[in-house]
Structure 1
Amino acid sequence: MPINEKQVEALAESQTSRSDEEGQEIKWTEAEEKALVRRIDFLVMPLLTLAFFALQLDRGNIGNAMTDFFLRDVGITQFQFNVGQQLLSAGIVILEIPSNIILYRVGPTVWIGAQILAWGFVAAFQAFQKGLGPFLATRLLLGLCEAGFIPAGLFTITRWYTREETTKRFSVYFLGNLFAGACSGLVAYGILQMRGICNLAGWQWLFLLEGLFTILVGIAFIAFFPLSTGKPVSILGIRYFSEREAQILQQRVLRDDPTKFQPRRNVTWGEIKDTLTNWRLLPHFFMTLLGMAPAHTMGAYAPLLVVSFGFDRLKSNAMLSIGAWALIVTNLLWGWAAAKTGQRGLMVFLGVLILWGFTIGNRVLVGSSNGNLRFGILVTATAFQANWHAVNGSWMALNARSAGERSVTLAIFVMSANIAGIIGSQVFQAKDAPLYYTGWTVIVALISVALFCSIVANLQYRLLNKFQKRTGEARYHY
């Protein structure tokens, strides 16, 4: 069974009492704490963000490969390509929760580092696939190896930062994803022109070089990431904080949120059951499931859409980076505004609302011959397609009742985003090409329901708090 609030408070008090008895009670100044947080920012966040950067490069570069005759060279159809994309998402979903249970037991340095190396090797060797069987196998294997990485990173952040600090750091973490989206088109534009070197296609060089980069990131992560707040030492023996500083790191997080005091190194079945039966997560789940599905569609097909607007085949990859760079700005803005105002639910609603508006614009312009206008609306929609996603994740984490439940909640959060990939991978069909009238109609419908779910998510917490205030127990963040 998960520990309840009274048990958590008792555990926290007993921890403090032991510190008092041993003469180890730590007091610190605000300036000292701020200095420690800055050091965490320069130690923990860069490695997690870099790993996320590598993840997105390896699972998103297939959209760039599509502009370099990937389907023809491998020998598959568009429908088979869509199935492969579904298998990638399915692989992530299958092992999402098991991966986080393992993380909880062995710690982030070993488990996350091993994941990075695993998917890095798969990403590199997929350069040599040929035929339907190898294509489907590598997409599934890539998903299985990547499963759990994103919620593992989010959970690790919650162990190093206080509740009010996590929203900004979640947004910073997702910058790795967004920077990859912004850089991948520019990088692909250069690498794809290597076609013919060593008798390899441009897309083969793309997979090979970006996979090798990921392997190097995995080695660096294992070598330098600190083991925990209580033991801020790398596997190589590099100590980043003194004993006193390590105690401050632990106590400041525990005092902010006693639920993070967890003497166990495993998630209980009770916590898993309570999380899976938590009806308050349903609006978040469906909002992410439906709201993020179009992002997966665009990840695979946006370069080809730009080509259909009348632009150059390879240059389309670089042109799309405009929207991706803008998404970085909106992501930071949403994270900052949510942390500043404390209104995470409102910022999520506004993000989905703006995306809904530009999605309607894309649908209205499907038949337009003005390629420049269509490109402008498409890249503007890209700038808002996921800026609310990280804020939604921090919102869910804040309302978890224990560390174990928080771990499973974040796994569900990322599972919903990857199930969205299963949906998004089949939105655009070959028979609907090149304008995709039906596809864009489906996208409008998906975002419309996601917008409704964001309203429900906001209302449920406000109503629950209003009801609980009568007994003085209002506790939900919105």
Structure 2
Amino acid sequence: MASISEEKKVDAATSPEAKDVTTSPSSSSFAEAVSINEKSLLRKLDYRLLPPLTLLYLLSFLDRSNVGNAKLEGMTTDIKMTGDQYLTGLTLYFVGYVLFEIPCNIILKKATPRTWLPTLTLIWGVVATLLGVVQNYSGYLASRFFLGVAESGLFPGVVYYISMWYKRNEQHYRVSLFFSAASLAGAFGGILAWGISHMDGVGGYSGWRWIFILEGLVTVIASIIAYFWVYNYPSTAEFLSPEEREFIQFRLKNDNDATRDESFTWSAVLDAFKDPKVWLYCLGFHTMSLPLYTLSLFLPTIIKELGYSAAQAQLLSVPPYAVAFVLTLSVAVASEKLRVRAPFIMGTSALACIGYILLLSDHRAGVSYVGTIFAAAGIYPSVAIVLSWPANNVSGQTKRCIANALQISVGNIGAVIGTQLYRTEDSPRYFLGHGFALGYLVANIFVVGILWVVLRRENAGKVREMDAKGLKPFGEDIGDGEGEFLGDKDPRWLFQT
């Protein structure tokens, strides 16, 4: 265990008050030299980069979770599916998602974001639209599987993409803002489903079919726009001036590996698989994905079984997601300002635990509904931090690219399990599903606690090595971006805890 004095050194090296201790120019002095306002440039990046990414993820989450809304409007009856057959389709989505996560990020590393991300969106938009015209159970299964395949590359790809534009401590808020689209999708999904369901009978189609068709077509249109709206990397972005490109390269050079010319290698892929911390990040998301996806897929059904009509359940699914959206962004701001990750994850996971305790312990509809709000309010902020953590801490580029994908691949095995837990015969209380979700959240608190200890120990060891060699840490404009760089094994690379 690191000594108290060593831990203080780690905190000092990564605190907001850390001062310049080398002759390297700071971001502010460099910005003045090239006449650039750093805060204005960051706002410019946010306005240009985040809206299209957030929209694509909102549509992604909407297209994967609207099946829960369609179920309330009679999909299972029309296709003649049993409750267990419906769950199998949910499972197949995540099987496709898990299998193609890493291959998709390898393609992203070899291709470009502007080409790859909109293409993925176009493919899943077509598949999502076709879900509205399936006529039998086989078509339902095939559509769900290929929807998972097509959507698998978006989230890990965007997390990697953001890490190539922003400094390490700036990434978490951006990832959280991007991920908050998931909670917005849940809120919009309920309202849209309620409205679209009134098209029942239009063109000879049931209302549930129009949910898939209209939302899928919106995704197709958005994908075409995204070919012109998504940019590649700072060195080629058309909306930046040469001075702005130079300044972005400078500020990243002293903070992370984004500016290094690193080609793809299989040895770097293997490094990701051999790092125990990467597997702890994977477990951190695995223990959150089951609660996340069971809530997003089954929330309308859970609310309906409390005694509400289908239309009421669609509308009552909005408030839990609205609260989750606000809390996700609020926690992200606090976590980024304080430069602390683990305590916020553990705290919000504990908040979600309260929600499931209410769902399990009290059968009154009002109390159980409040439980769904607590659950959503705790799950979404936790997931946002968990998913941004390896983007902050893993280096170099290929290793981080694979670690992001591996985290979501292993994590979504939890979702695969979760899709089988909310069985028809367990309604209306769903003790099995709620119990698993609660157990996974408790496990998340323990996994994140272990990872927190591991990262602090490694940081303490790196501080000792830097002291012995007379080195200074990377980050906050005090690192030396020159010389041989050893990725996250470099003693100058301190982990964010």
After TM superposition, the score normalised by the length of structure 2 is: 0.86
Match of 2:288 among 279, 288, 291: 291
Residue of structure 2 in register with 1:476 after alignment? 495
Residue of structure 2 in register with 1:89 after alignment? 94
Q: How does 1:121-140 map to 2 (within 5 A)?
A: 121-140=126-145
The CA distance in 1 between the partners of 2:404 and 2:99, in whole Å, is 15
The CA distance in 2 between the partners of 1:406 and 1:78, in whole Å, is 40
Residue of structure 2 in register with 1:151 after alignment? 156
Residue of structure 2 in register with 1:15 after alignment? none
Q: How does 1:336-347 map to 2 (within 5 A)?
A: 336-347=333-344
The CA distance in 1 between the partners of 2:93 and 2:107, in whole Å, is 21
Residue of structure 2 in register with 1:350 after alignment? 347
Match of 1:103 among 104, 108, 111: 108
Matched, 1:389 2:383: yes
Matched, 1:72 2:77: yes
Residue of structure 2 in register with 1:362 after alignment? 359
Residue of structure 2 in register with 1:22 after alignment? none
Match of 1:179 among 177, 184, 188: 184
Residue of structure 2 in register with 1:429 after alignment? 423
Matched, 1:28 2:31: yes
The CA distance in 2 between the partners of 1:135 and 1:63, in whole Å, is 13
The CA distance in 2 between the partners of 1:93 and 1:35, in whole Å, is 39
Residue by residue over 1:237-272, the C-alpha shift from the partner in whole angstroms, topping out at 9 and shown as x without a partner, is: xxx122222222222222322x22332443x11111
Residue by residue over 1:19-47, the C-alpha shift from the partner in whole angstroms, topping out at 9 and shown as x without a partner, is: xxxxxxx9422852222211111111101
- Structure 1 counterpart of 2:247, which letter? I
Q: Does structure 1 retain, via aligned residues, the 8 Å contact 2:418–2:433? A: no
Residue by residue over 1:168-204, the C-alpha shift from the partner in whole angstroms, topping out at 9 and shown as x without a partner, is: 1111111222211121101111001211111111110
The CA deviation at 1:332 is 0.5
Q: Does structure 1 retain, via aligned residues, the 8 Å contact 2:169–2:392? A: no
- Structure 1 counterpart of 2:443, which letter? V
Q: How does 1:226-375 map to 2 (within 5 A)?
A: 226-233=231-238, 240-257=239-256, 259-266=257-264, 268-365=265-362, 368=363, 370-375=364-369
Residue by residue over 1:59-94, the C-alpha shift from the partner in whole angstroms, topping out at 9 and shown as x without a partner, is: 010010111111111121111111111111111111
The CA deviation at 1:393 is 2.1
The CA distance in 2 between the partners of 1:433 and 1:197, in whole Å, is 32
Q: After the TM superposition, which parts of structure 1 deviate over 6 Å for at least 4 consecutive aligned residues? A: none
Residue of structure 1 in register with 2:454 after alignment? 460
- Structure 1 counterpart of 2:298, which letter? Y
- Structure 2 counterpart of 1:294, which letter? P
The CA distance in 1 between the partners of 2:465 and 2:253, in whole Å, is 26
Residue of structure 1 in register with 2:473 after alignment? none
The CA distance in 2 between the partners of 1:244 and 1:442, in whole Å, is 53
Match of 1:402 among 396, 406, 421: 396
Residue by residue over 1:302-350, the C-alpha shift from the partner in whole angstroms, topping out at 9 and shown as x without a partner, is: 2112111111212211111100010011100111111000011111111
The CA deviation at 1:356 is 1.8
Larger mean CA deviation between 294-303 and 323-332 belongs to: 294-303
Residue of structure 1 in register with 2:471 after alignment? none
After TM superposition, the score normalised by the length of structure 1 is: 0.89
Larger mean CA deviation between 331-340 and 381-390 belongs to: 381-390
Residue by residue over 1:392-430, the C-alpha shift from the partner in whole angstroms, topping out at 9 and shown as x without a partner, is: 222222221211111111112222342222011011123
The CA distance in 2 between the partners of 1:265 and 1:136, in whole Å, is 38
- Structure 2 counterpart of 1:414, which letter? I
Q: Secondary structure at the match of 2:223?
A: helix
The CA distance in 1 between the partners of 2:430 and 2:37, in whole Å, is 57
Larger mean CA deviation between 376-385 and 60-69 belongs to: 376-385
The CA distance in 1 between the partners of 2:135 and 2:299, in whole Å, is 24
Residue of structure 2 in register with 1:237 after alignment? none
Larger mean CA deviation between 343-352 and 375-384 belongs to: 375-384
The CA deviation at 1:439 is 2.6
Q: Secondary structure at the match of 2:180?
A: helix
Q: Quick one: structure 1 residues 469 and 102, their matched pair in 2 at CA, closer, same or farther if it must change by over 3 Å?
A: same
The CA deviation at 1:276 is 1.0
Q: Does structure 1 retain, via aligned residues, the 8 Å contact 2:95–2:416? A: yes
Identity in percent: 25
Q: Does structure 1 retain, via aligned residues, the 8 Å contact 2:96–2:149? A: yes
The CA deviation at 1:387 is 0.9
Match of 1:221 among 220, 226, 237: 226
- Structure 2 counterpart of 1:84, which letter? G
Q: Does structure 2 retain, via aligned residues, the 8 Å contact 1:167–1:391? A: yes
Q: Does structure 2 retain, via aligned residues, the 8 Å contact 1:345–1:395? A: no
The CA distance in 2 between the partners of 1:325 and 1:461, in whole Å, is 33
Q: Does structure 2 retain, via aligned residues, the 8 Å contact 1:57–1:184? A: yes
Q: Does structure 2 retain, via aligned residues, the 8 Å contact 1:124–1:209? A: yes
The CA deviation at 1:461 is 1.1
Q: Secondary structure at the match of 2:310?
A: coil
The CA deviation at 1:228 is 2.0
Match of 2:371 among 370, 377, 383: 377
- Structure 2 counterpart of 1:243, which letter? P
Matched residue pairs, number?
442
The CA deviation at 1:212 is 0.6
- Structure 2 counterpart of 1:164, which letter? N
Q: Does structure 2 retain, via aligned residues, the 8 Å contact 1:320–1:379? A: no
The CA distance in 1 between the partners of 2:210 and 2:30, in whole Å, is 55
- Structure 2 counterpart of 1:33, which letter? E
The CA distance in 1 between the partners of 2:30 and 2:291, in whole Å, is 49
Q: How does 1:189-200 map to 2 (within 5 A)?
A: 189-200=194-205
Q: Quick one: structure 1 residues 228 and 284, their matched pair in 2 at CA, closer, same or farther if it must change by over 3 Å?
A: closer
> Which consecutive residues of structure 2, in runs of 5 or more, have no partner in the other structure?
1-28, 467-490
Q: Quick one: structure 1 residues 189 and 221, their matched pair in 2 at CA, closer, same or farther if it must change by over 3 Å?
A: same
The CA deviation at 1:215 is 0.8
